[in-house]
Structure 1
Amino acid sequence: MDEYNKYKNSQNHKKHNKRNKLSFYVSLAICITAVGLAVWSTFSSYSSFKEKRNQVATATATATQANNQVTGVTVEETTTTTMSTTESTTLPTTVTTTTVPNTSTTMSAVQTMLQVPGNLIYPVKNAKVSKPYSENAVYNKTMGDYRSHLGIDFNCKKDTNVLSMSDGVVSDIYDDDRMGKVVIVDCGTFMIYYSGLDDVKVQVNDSLSKGDTISNVGEMPCESEDGIHLHVAIRVNGSYVDPLSVIGTNE
């Protein structure tokens, strides 16, 4: 009986050892499998990361190459014009200049003094200036527009005697639709234009002395709304000057 128990115990012990060994190997296999899976996962992640990094590097290289190819190409700039929200004031008609033959620029005061003596007399006696010289556009009531007034107007009565402001020679006499009858006197270094005349008493090539009678005052069609007056303009080398700047102060 004892021998039988010993044998039985021995067999049970062996079976227990076998189960223990089987459990051990199963556990080992599980651990190895887990480690393998971990390694495989890590390797897979690394491979994926490496692949993405290579893709990024490739894309960067492509972009850089494209940029290098574009370098040196001139791109035409487009300009967008923005309209001002402030509209300019609309004048009655287009701004024009006074209709005196051969329009040109004006001269400085120094140039005027060198070319024109400062002792010219007034072309009419006891007359007041009704409209001064202006290089800027001023309103013309008759024409209904704005224009430069490159001369001066002397307010006076019709048929008032017009006097020669300086010594000179009559160079031209003509009728103008807007300026009326015009007499031009050549004074050597400058020219005097008398406009809005009537009953001219001189002829072309007549020599005049300061104070000689040229004509009577008539009408100026382009300034008829300003009343009866004489319009006088002075030009030096083709440029207009203010007549009042060269009229003697003692006259």
Structure 2
Amino acid sequence: MSENNSRKKKSRYEKAGFYTALSICLIAVTMAVYSTYNTISGAKEPTEQPTTTAVEVNNQVTGITEIAEETTFPKVANEITVPTISVTIPPYTEPTEQDTTRNALQTMLSTDLTLSYPLNQKNIIREYSEKTVYYKSLNVWKSHLGVDFAGEIGDEVTAMTGGAVIKVDEDKLYGKTVEIATDNAVVIYSGLNGITVKEGDSVENGQKIGVIGAVPCEVHDKNHIHVAVKIDRQFADPLSFISNGE
């Protein structure tokens, strides 16, 4: 009887040990599965990034590449085309001395003007010149489009041709001035004083129109009058019309 009881107790102990070992194994497996699950679920899944079209700005060997977003604009249906205008400008060519002489000759031949000397003496201190000459009084270089006839202050000045007085004025550079027109020519007398004619008068060749005064832009020269001739509004050499230039 006691032997049977002993066997039963032993059998219960063996079963208890078996179930205890089984429980420990199940607990170990459960913990292993739980740990693995936490490891897998704790890792972040990669986030999907938007696609960006990038343009490389600088390609320097610096280890850093700058990225700039590229913007694409929609195409316009009807694009405007600007025409290209081509203009050819001819090079500037200075007139030659031959051209100047020909133009002066053409001007002289366009009239039958004949002039006399405006003073008793025939002393010319500066001739007509389309080339630049030095003006001491102004300290400049410019053309001398007239002839300077020298004389003494107060000497009588006479008309070099007959015609109508179209202007009596005082110019800042050339002083008191009288203009006498005949046909297509105008004779301009500057540097006068004591003018004896007025606008609208008719004068004859050799008639007194005033006396020698002063030419402001040429005061450093000898006393003189400045005479210019215009034919069809173009300057011409007065000496070309005085006794055939002699």
Q: How does 1:44-123 map to 2 (within 5 A)?
A: 107-117=103-113, 119-123=114-118
Letter in 1 for 2:168: I
**Aligned match of 1:177:** 172
1:147 pairs with 2:110 = no
- CA distance in 2 between partners of 1:250 and 1:135 (Å): 17
Question: Which of 133, 150, 164 is the matching residue for 1:138?
Answer: 133
- The TM-score with structure 1 as length reference comes to 0.55
Q: Distance in 2 between matches of 1:246 and 1:184?
A: 17
> In the alignment, what sits opposite 2:205?
210
Q: CA deviation at 1:224?
A: 0.1
Cα distance between partner residues in 2 of 1:172 and 1:131: 25
- Distance in structure 2 (CA, Å) of the matches to 1:250 and 1:109: 13
* Superposed CA offset, 1:138-175 (max 9, x none): 00110011010000001111111111011100000011
Q: Does 2:118 match 1:126?
A: no
Aligned equivalents of 1:111 and 1:223: distance in 2? Answer: 27
Larger radius of gyration: 2
Structure richer in helix, relative to its length: 1
Distance verdict in 2 for CA 1:147–1:212, change over 3 Å: same
On the 8 A contact 2:180/2:187 being kept in 1, the answer is: yes
What's the Cα RMSD here? 1.7
The amino acid of 1:226's aligned partner reads: D
Partner of 1:243: 238
Aligned identity (percent) is 32
State the SS of the aligned residue for 1:226. Answer: coil
Q: Describe the SS at the equivalent of 1:196.
A: strand
Tell me how far apart the structure 2 counterparts of residues 237 and 249 of structure 1 sit (CA, whole Å): 20
Q: Structure 2: which 5+ runs fail to align?
A: 1-101
2:104 maps to amino acid? S
In structure 1, the residue matched to 2:9 is none
Counterpart for residue 187 of structure 1: 182
Structure 1 residue 177: Cα displacement? 1.3
Secondary structure, aligned partner of 1:194:
strand
1:231 to 213, 226, 231: 226
CA distance in 2, matches of 1:153, 1:199: 19
Matched AA of 2:105: A
| Alpha-carbon distance change, 201 to 114 in structure 1, aligned in 2, over 3 angstroms | same
Report the Cα offset of residue 107 of structure 1. Answer: 4.2
- In the TM superposition, structure 1's runs of 4+ consecutive aligned residues that sit over 3 Å from their partners are none
